[in-house]
Amino acid sequence: MHALSKFFQPSSVAIIGATPKEGKVGRAILENFIKRFNGRIYPVNPGYDEVLGLKCYRSIKEIPETPDLGVIAIPALQVPQTLRELGEKGTKAVIIISGGFRETGTKEGEALEEELIKISREYGIRVIGPNCIGVYDNWSGVDTFFTQKMKKPPRGYVAFISQSGAFATALMDWMAYHGIGVSRAISYGNKIDVDDVDLLEYLGEDDKTRVVLMYIEGIKESRGRLFIETARRVSLKKPVVVYKAGKTSRGGRAAASHTAAMAGDYSVYRAAFKQAGLIEVDSFDEMMDFVRIFLDQPLMRGNRVYIVTDAGGVGVMLTDALTSVGFEVPVTPPELREKLRSILPPHCIVDNPIDLTGDTDDERYIRVLEVLSQREDVDAIVVVALPQVPGIKGIFVDYIAKTKEETGKPVVALTIGSEASMETAKKLQEKGVTVFESPERLAKSLKALRTYSLYISKNKPGVYSN
Amino acid sequence: MTPREVIKKALEEGRVKLLEHEAFDIAKYYGIPTPNAILVKSPDEAYKYADEVGYPMAAKIVSPDITHKSDVGGVKLFIKNREEAYKAVEEILRNASQNAPGARIAGVIVYKMAPPGLETIIGGIRDHVFGPTVMFGLGGIFVEVMRDVSFRVHPVTFEDALEMIDEIKSSRILNGYRGQPPVDKHALADIIVKTSKLLAENEEIESIDLNPVIAYPQGAVAVDVRIIVKQQG
């Protein structure tokens, strides 16, 4: 059993600070657990005998078993004593939601945090926090995200590690709105113990997680080497997408040497990410684009992209975007031209982009996809499906998805427009075809997929040929 | 002296910046190509070793107390023979005692000047999160203005180093331009790998600048080596 599994799959939880008072963090957390957690729940609060229909314990000592997980949501001053009591009880995993520690910048806060570190070491307790929103586990129902206005994403396979609690909340909300499934999300706050390295290691082993997304402000000093080693191992199993916040240099070592003046903190992070096989993103857009493409698309074995479009202009935009990130958009070879000529009306353009033109129907897409899916010299297909043309009824959606399944190659789509476009996009996405609205974002995302595929083929020979 | 001994001596003397010949010694110990250099204490010594060093020769004052060597008349370039070497060192020592009275003088370093080539920079720092980290860039405005450099964290393989070299935006210059032949990327990669090892094996070294490393169609040489050390614990 992994050292951190008690945070994610506990059979019992003690919630210290559980309360019936509306608007309190302790109430929100208890409600979350009541709603979805299947294990035993022990609310702890000296002021109540019962909270929200559950028996409430006056102290940790009174709990009739050793809870696998402790959640602390009480004022900072009382946290050290509570942690000690959990230690006495034998609990080995504790999430400290409470703030009021090092982040306050005060001597008192710092001293309190030092005490927590001491106690956790003394009892061998693993701690997430303090000053965090903790764990959101969509499979076990562990949920300390007390931000109740947040819409909860469906069960799924994206895990998220965040140094920022507020961003974690916003992102979950966004993913819920866009129907992207989440396995587990963790916000670790001041990280006095459990950090990025531990969590990445855990999620690497987690079979409910297929893509890991990380928001990092800074790695703990002296953990850099281990971070790279862990990330390298995990990257071979699943893609890890990382966003580094705080890119500007602190400049603290500017004068020491020429190299130091150039380095800044971010350049070194950037190099480390690259060496670890991580996929770095520069913006929120990229973050979610890359996560979506990694979630749904297979590895990309080569560099040749074919475009099938019902709009010439968008085909050209795509060609530019794909070429400028390093893809090949090959000129259709003669035998393929002939083949396409034989199945398309004479006014269609059989160069790549293959332009079915504005009078196309679903049939043309289906015929062309059938031809392309049988070819060895096609590494990915981009389908432009602008729904404004009159002849499209929508059955081509199934064929696009089928092409992806049957070829085992990336098949992505582009639609631009209003409701009809959204409708097409939704249908495609439900069938695992990643849809983009912007040619440039599509190209960059496909490039990320290709880069990761290259990393895998280089470091894990035999995964796929070519 | 071994790198350990060189660093220990500097720290004992309270110096954090190694002297030129000390830095050269450490680089050489790790197999980084440097010019043939000798620290001489007198004009007579300069005369004696000049032929061995080779021409054209450069002579520079070595002192922990003098930062801007040319300002005190502590540099002579393009020395052509042993007579000139004698005169140059005599002059440098006299200038130093006149213009920087009281400065501690370790001697004058004389070395064969490297022929012109493509100037690059290879450096290393000890990052507080990731540990030893190396840098590569092209000399002059490419680093100063464009900040066009690449980094890798130790351990750095030969392949990593080649990738670093190709990663900078102006890497095409290394492939030759305006009739210039391409430079020896393997020689540069080799220096990068050795610099990374040097940093990893000597914890007291905070940073190292090989600036410039002059690259040729065959080979590359670190013409100037600066090493900053720090007391441990």
| Whether B222 contacts B122, CB under 8 Å | yes
CATH topology of domain A5-209: Rossmann fold (3.40.50)
Lowest mean pLDDT among A91-95, A331-335, B64-68, B163-167: B64-68
Q: Is residue B14 part of a domain?
A: no
CA-CA-CA-CA torsion sign (A42, A45, A46, A50): negative
Nearest to B155 by CA among B122, B200, B210: B200
Contact B123 A258 (CB under 8 A): yes
pLDDT at A217: 87
Report helix angle A396-407 to A362-373, nearest 10: 10
CB contact under 8 A, A262 and B137: yes
Asked whether residue B11 is assigned to any structural domain, the reply reads no
Kindly state whether B130 is in contact with chain A, defined as any CB-CB distance less than 8 angstroms.
Answer: yes
CA separation for the pair A189, A103 (Å, rounded): 9
> How confident is the model at residue B233, as a pLDDT?
61
Q: In degrees, to the nearest 5, what angle opens at C-alpha A325 toward C-alphas A320 and A275?
A: 175
Domain with CATH 3.40.50.720 in chain A: 5-209
Contact B189, B214 (CB under 8 A): no
Same domain, yes or no: B69 and B101: yes
CA–CA gap between residue A263 and residue B225 (Å, rounded)? 18
pLDDT surpassing 60 at residue A465: no
Q: With an 8 Å Cβ cutoff, are B226 and A268 in contact?
A: no
Average pLDDT over residues A450-459: 93
A83 vs A248, more confident: A83
Q: Identify from B16, B119, B126, B128 which residue to disrupt to test chain A contact, counting A C-beta atoms within 10 A and taking the largest count.
A: B128
Tell me how close the Cα of B136 comes to any Cα of chain A, in angstroms: 9
CATH code of residue B93: 3.30.1490.20
Residues of A in contact with B152 (CB under 8 A): 271, 275
Q: What is the mean pLDDT of residues A421-428?
A: 91
CA distance A440 to A320: 9
In chain A, pLDDT over 90 holds for what percent of residues?
83
Q: Encode pLDDT of A199-227 as tens digits.
A: 999 999 999 999 999 999 888 888 999 99
**Residues B193, B127 share a domain:** yes
B chain contacts of residue A220, beta-carbon cutoff 8 Å: 129
For residue A234, what are the contacts with CB-CB under 8 A and spacing of at least 6?
Answer: A200, A201, A203, A204, A212, A240
Domain boundaries for CATH 3.40.50.261 within chain A? 300-459
CA–centroid distance for A279 within its chain: 12
With an 8 Å Cβ cutoff, are B133 and A253 in contact?
no
**DSSP code at position A330:** P
Contacts of A464 (CB under 8 A, 6+ apart): A299, A301, A453, A456, A457
CA B155/CA A252 separation, integer angstroms: 25
Q: Total structural domains in chain B?
A: 2
What pLDDT sits at residue B178? Answer: 80
Residue of chain B whose Cα is closest to the Cα of A262? B147
Min Cα distance B127 → chain A (Å) is: 8
Instruction: Report yes or no on B71 lying in a domain.
Output: yes
Question: Is B16 near chain A, with CB under 8 Å?
Answer: no
Contacts of B138 in chain A (CB under 8 A): none
From B131, B133, B211, residue closest to A258, measured CB to CB:
B211
Complex prediction ipTM: 0.85
Domain boundary among B113, B146, B176: B113
Contact yes or no for A271 and B152 at CB 8 A: yes
What digits encode the pLDDT tens for the residues A361-405?
999 999 999 999 999 999 999 999 888 888 888 888 999 999 999
Cβ distance A220 to B160 less than 8 Å, yes or no, reads no
CB A119 within 8 A of CB A142: no
What band does A253 get if pLDDT is binned at 50, 70 and 90?
Answer: very low
Is some CB atom of chain B closer than 8 A to the CB atom of A418? no
First vs last C-alpha separation in chain A: 37
User: For B101-114, how does the pLDDT look when each residue is reduced to its tens digit (9 = 90+)?
Assistant: 999 999 999 999 99
Question: The domain that contains B149 carries what CATH number?
Answer: 3.30.470.20
Q: Are residues B141 and B185 in the same domain?
A: yes
Q: Which CATH number fits domain A300-459: 3.40.50.300, 3.40.50.620, 3.40.50.261, 3.40.50.720?
A: 3.40.50.261
How many CA atoms, within 13 angstroms, populate the side-chain half-sphere of residue A133? 26
Nearest to A212 by CA among A241, A185, A186: A241
Residue A251 pLDDT class (50, 70, 90 cuts): very low
Count of CB pairs separated by less than 8 Å, A with B: 80
Tell me if residue A142 falls in helix, strand or coil. Answer: coil
Q: Which domain holds residue B58?
A: 36-113
Cβ neighbours for A272, distance < 8 A, ≥ 6 positions apart = A224, A227, A228, B130, B153
Exposed (0-12), middle (13-18) or buried (19+): which is A35, by Cβ within 10 Å? Answer: exposed
Chain B from 150 to 179: CB within 8 A of any A CB: 150-153, 160
- Three-class HEC string of A228-293: HHHHHHHHCCCCEEEEECCCCCCCCCCCCCHHHHHHHHHHHHHHHHHHCCCEEECCHHHHHHHHHH
Give how far B98 is from chain A: nearest CA, Å.
Answer: 29
Element containing residue A455 per DSSP (H, E):
helix A439-459
The span from the CA of A46 to the CA of A378, in Å, is 67
Closest CA to A426 of A417, A308, A391: A417
Three-state DSSP at A404 gives helix
Which of B67, B119, B121, B130 to mutate to test binding with chain A, by most A CBs within 10 Å of its CB? B130
Taking the CA atoms of chain A, what radius of gyration do you get in angstroms? 26
CB contact at 8 A, A120 and A169: no
pLDDT in tens, A143-200: 999 998 889 999 999 999 998 899 999 999 999 998 999 999 999 999 999 999 999 9
pLDDT beneath 70: ranges in chain B: 233
Separation CA A154–CA A180 (nearest Å): 7
C-alpha to C-alpha distance for A289 and A293, rounded to whole angstroms: 6
pTM here is 0.90
- Residue A149 confidence (pLDDT): 87
Identify the sign of the CA torsion A242, A243, A248, A253: negative
Q: Which of B69, B97, B113 is the last residue in one of the domains?
A: B113
Partner residue facing B149 (CB), from A225, A228, A262 = A262
- pLDDT for res A267: 87
A257·B127 Cβ contact <8 A: no
B172 and B211 belong to one structural domain: yes
d(Cα B176, Cα B171) in Å, to the nearest integer? 10
**Sign (positive/negative) of CA torsion A171, A173, A174, A175?**
positive
